Structures are given as C-alpha cells and as structure tokens.
Amino acid sequence: IFRETLSKRGVRVITALGKYFRQIDKNRNGFLSQAALKEALKVFHLEMPEGDFESLWLILDDSKSDKVDYGEFTHAIFGEMNEYRKAFVRKAYMKLDFNKTGSVPMVDVRKCYCAK
C-alpha cells in the first residue's frame, strides 16, 4: 500500500525524499533512525497509522539494528531499472571505465563530467 501511495505521488516526491534523507543523515553513514524516518514521512505528507508504520519499520529494519539503510528503502520504492535504463547506465559506465578496471575513481569521473 505504501509503495502504491508513493507511486501515485510521482518520481519527484520520491527523488526529493531521497535528497531529504541525505540531508538529515548527519553521520553520512547511509542510515536513518526510526524517529528520523517518521519525521521525513511527515514532512512529505506520507504519514500512516502507527501500526502500519511499525510494520513498515519491521520490514525495513530486517537486521534489527534500530536503523534503516535509506538507499535500500529508496531502491525498494523505485524497484528495478527497466532494460533501457540498464543499457544506458552500462554504456555510460563503459565510457567512464576507459581503463577497463571495473571501478571508476572520482578523478576519471571529473574528466568526463561537468555539472555546470
């Protein structure tokens, strides 16, 4: 049900939610506490009954660490990329990994990309 609600709100809301997660992640560790997730959902008007939130938290915090990986959360909402997007990403990666090492250092990304 939660995924359907987010899907109806559109990609912009989901993208903005991911950006918000990164902003409130003060430790830059990729994890959010239960209180931080609840607050983020409130900010984006995605509140839910407490019982539903507890169920969502149990699913997200499968390691029982009292924190959730917001990257996994976002991936769970977006789902898998379609084949067209995957092919596009592969093509871009192959261009960036011109040494064919299997990884791309930031130095190489900076050579190929300008955000201006």
pTM over 0.85, yes/no: no
What pLDDT is stored for residue 71 in this prediction?
Answer: 80
Same domain for 97 and 62: no
Outline where DSSP puts E strands in 10-111.
31-32, 68-69
Residue 71 · residue 30 · CB < 8 Å: yes
| Residue 1 confidence (pLDDT) | 53
- Count how many domains the chain has: 2
The reply to whether 7 and 63 lie within a common domain is: yes
SS3 40: helix
| pLDDT mean values, one per 10 residues, the chain (116 residues) | 60 81 87 90 87 88 85 75 88 86 85 75
Name the residue range of residue 104's domain: 83-112
pLDDT at 87: 93
CA 38 to chain centre: 16
User: What is residue 9's predicted lDDT score, i.e. its pLDDT?
Assistant: 61
Give the per-residue pLDDT at 6.
Answer: 61
CA–CA distance from 8 to each of 4, 32, 40, 53 (Å)?
A: 6, 24, 18, 19
Statement to judge: residues 89 and 107 lie in one domain: yes
Q: Using one digit for the tens of pLDDT, what is the confidence trace for 63-83?
A: 888 888 888 777 777 777 789
